[in-house]
C-alpha cells in the first residue's frame, strides 16, 4: 500500500551490483540521484558519475530494467517498490554506452575544424572544451577493460597464435599461448617435442595436419614459431565443455588477480566464473588445486610462515611493550602459540566486566590446528578480545597452558 505524504516515508534497502561486488544503499522518498552516485563512487573509486549508468529491476514477473536519469526516476522507483511491497531494490551499475560512442566522435573529430557537440545526461560538451571529457573517456575505457579483461580474454585467445615468425618471451609463455589458443578454439593438442630448445605440438587427432613447431632464438630465452600448419583437417572441435588442457596451472593464472582482491574466493565460485567467462566446465578438485597454486605463488608456501612466528613474537614485544607472547615447538615442529597484546590486557582491566569467556574452533586448512580465544564484555556489551592462541590439538593440557 502506498505511503501517504503525511506518513513517514518507508526506507528501502537497495543492493547495487557492479561486476561481482555490491554495495547496500538506503533509499527513501527524498533520496536524490546524486546521493546514489556519491555512494557508488565512494565504493568504487575508479568510477565517476559521468562514466556510469544506474538501472533497477521492477520486482514483478517481467523483470523490466529501468535506467535512472533524474531525481523523479528515483522517486518513482521508491514508490513502485512500496506499492509492490518489495523491501529490497535490485540495482546494477553499467558503463554508459553513449559515452563510449561519444568517445569515438571526440577522438575522430580531434583534427577537424568543426566543434563536435555531444549531449549526454543533459550536458553539452563541445570539442573546444572536451579535454576533461576525453580524460573521462579514457578512464571509462580503462575501467571497462579492467572489468571485462577475463571476459575479453577468450576472444583474444582465439587469435593469440599468429603464425611463422611470432616470438614469445620464453618457453612458458609459448606453452600458455598454445594452451589458451586451443581452449578458446575448442581444440586439443599433444606435445611431440617439449624441451628447453624446441617445442612441437600437433592436433590430438592423428589424421589432422594442424601442427606448430617453435625453437629457441640464439642463446636467449625467447622462442619463435618456425613452422606452422594452421588448418585442422579433423572436422569440428571438441563437443564437450570440459577441456583436458584446463590444468591447475591454467586455473591459477586466471584466478590469481581475483584472489589478491578476494582471498576468500571459493572453488565453487571459480567453477561458475570459468564456466560463464570461458565456457570450460571444471571439476571441483581442479578449481581447488588451481586456487591453492595461485595462493602459494601470491603468499609463498604456507609451511614457510611457521619459520617467521618467532620473529613475529619478538616484533610484538618490541613494538608493544608489556605484551605477552609464548611460542613452543616439539622436535623442531610448531606446537603452540599464545599472544596477548598489552592494549587488550589494559582494556580488559579498565573497561570490561570481570568475566572471561573462553572457546576454541578448528582451523580449516591442511595444516590443521585449533584456535583458542579469551574474550570479555565491554561497557557497550560488545565482545572484547583479550588473548588468542593456536595449538595443535584441543586437549586439557593445551587449555591449562593457554590459561
Write out the DSSP string of 213-235: EEEE-TTSS-EEEEEEE----S-
Q: Are residues 311 and 398 in the same domain?
A: yes
Q: Are residues 45 and 105 in the same domain?
A: no
237 located within any domain: no
Q: Are residues 278 and 329 in the same domain?
A: no
40 located within any domain: yes
Domain boundary among 95, 113, 133: 95
283 located within any domain: yes
Whole-number average pLDDT of the chain: 80
Closest alpha carbon to 71 in 16, 30, 122, 28: 30
Q: How far is CA 391 from the centre of its chain?
A: 32
User: What pLDDT, on a 0 to 100 scale, did the predictor assign at position 344?
Assistant: 92
Give the count of domains, the chain.
5
User: Rounded mean pLDDT of 311-319?
Assistant: 91
Q: Are residues 387 and 314 in the same domain?
A: yes
4 located within any domain: no
CATH number at residue 73: 3.10.20.90
35 located within any domain: yes
User: 119-146, pLDDT tens digit by residue?
Assistant: 333 334 344 334 454 555 555 555 555 4
Q: Which residues are 225's β-sheet partners?
A: 214
Per-residue pLDDT for 339 more than 90?
yes
277 located within any domain: yes
Per-residue pLDDT for 103 more than 80?
no
Q: Are residues 28 and 113 in the same domain?
A: no
Please state which of the ranges 66-70, 149-153, 214-218, 377-381 shows the lowest mean pLDDT: 149-153
Question: Please, which residues have CB within 8 angstroms of residue 29's CB and are 6 or more apart in sequence?
Answer: 3, 9, 75, 78, 79
242 located within any domain: no
Does residue 54 or residue 43 have the better pLDDT?
Answer: 54
Global pTM value: 0.47
Find out whether 188 and 182 touch, Cβ atoms under 8 Å.
yes
284-299 helix and 267-278 helix, angle to the nearest 10 degrees: 100
User: What pLDDT, on a 0 to 100 scale, did the predictor assign at position 101?
Assistant: 53
Per-residue pLDDT for 247 more than 90?
no
CA pair distance 332, 14, nearest whole angstrom: 54
Question: Residue 382 sits in which domain range?
Answer: 307-402
CA pair distance 258, 239, nearest whole angstrom: 29
Secondary structure string (H, E, C) spanning 363-400: CCCCCCCEEEEEEEEECCCCEEEEEEEEECCCCHHHHH
Does residue 10 or residue 152 have the better pLDDT?
Answer: 10
User: What pLDDT, on a 0 to 100 scale, did the predictor assign at position 19?
Assistant: 75
Q: Are residues 321 and 392 in the same domain?
A: yes
6 located within any domain: no
Q: Are residues 91 and 35 in the same domain?
A: yes
User: 173-205, pLDDT tens digit by residue?
Assistant: 999 899 988 888 888 899 999 988 999 999 988
Amino acid at each position: 500500500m502506498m505511503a501517504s505524504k503525511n506518513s513517514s516515508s518507508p526506507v528501502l534497502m537497495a543492493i547495487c551490483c557492479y561486476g561481482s561486488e555490491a554495495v547496500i544503499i538506503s533509499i527513501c522518498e527524498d533520496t536524490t540521484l546524486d546521493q546514489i552516485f556519491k555512494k557508488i563512487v565512494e565504493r568504487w573509486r575508479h568510477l565517476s558519475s559521468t562514466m556510469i549508468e544506474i538501472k533497477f529491476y521492477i520486482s514483478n514477473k517481467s523483470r523490466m530494467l529501468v535506467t535512472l536519469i533524474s531525481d523523479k526516476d528515483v522517486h518513482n522507483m521508491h514508490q513502485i517498490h512500496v506499492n509492490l511491497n518489495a523491501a529490497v531494490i535490485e540495482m546494477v551499475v553499467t558503463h554508459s554506452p553513449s559515452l563510449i560512442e561519444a568517445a569515438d566522435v571526440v577522438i575522430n573529430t580531434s583534427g577537424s575544424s568543426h566543434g563536435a557537440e555531444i549531449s549526454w545526461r543533459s550536458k553539452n560538451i563541445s570539442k573546444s572544451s572536451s579535454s576533461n571529457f576525453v580524460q573521462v573517456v579514457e578512464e571509462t575505457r580503462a575501467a571497462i577493460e579492467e572489468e571485462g579483461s577475463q571476459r575479453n580474454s577468450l576472444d583474444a585467445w582465439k587469435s593469440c597464435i599468429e603464425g611463422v615468425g611470432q616470438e614469445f618471451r620464453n618457453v612458458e609463455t609459448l606453452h600458455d599461448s598454445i594452451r589458451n589458443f586451443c581452449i578458446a578454439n575448442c581444440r586439443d593438442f599433444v606435445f611431440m617435442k617439449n624441451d628447453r630448445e624446441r617445442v612441437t605440438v600437433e592436433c590430438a587427432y592423428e589424421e589432422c595436419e594442424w601442427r606448430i613447431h617453435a625453437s629457441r632464438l640464439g642463446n636467449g630465452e625467447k622462442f619463435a614459431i618456425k613452422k606452422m600448419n594452421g588448418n585442422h583437417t579433423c572436422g569440428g572441435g571438441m563437443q564437450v565443455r570440459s577441456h583436458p588442457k584446463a590444468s591447475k596451472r591454467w586455473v591459477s593464472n586466471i584466478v590469481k588477480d581475483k584472489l589478491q582482491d578476494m582471498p576468500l574466493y571459493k572453488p565453487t565460485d571459480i567453477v561458475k566464473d570459468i564456466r560463464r567467462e570461458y565456457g570450460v566446465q571444471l571439476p571441483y578438485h581442479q578449481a581447488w588445486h588451481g586456487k591453492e597454486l595461485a595462493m602459494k605463488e601470491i603468499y609463498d608456501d604456507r609451511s614457510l610462515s611457521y619459520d617467521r612466528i618467532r620473529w613475529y613474537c619478538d616484533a610484538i614485544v618490541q613494538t608493544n611493550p608489556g605484551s605477552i607472547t609464548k611460542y613452543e615447538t616439539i622436535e623442531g615442529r610448531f606446537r603452540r602459540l599464545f599472544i596477548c597484546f598489552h592494549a587488550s590486557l589494559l582494556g580488559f582491566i579498565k573497561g570490561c566486566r570481570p568475566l572471561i569467556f573462553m572457546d576454541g574452533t578448528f582451523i580449516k586448512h591442511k595444516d590443521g590446528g585449533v584456535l583458542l580465544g579469551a574474550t570479555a564484555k565491554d561497557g557497550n556489551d560488545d565482545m572484547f578480545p583479550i588473548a588468542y592462541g593456536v595449538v595443535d590439538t584441543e586437549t586439557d593440557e593445551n587449555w591449562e597452558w593457554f590459561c
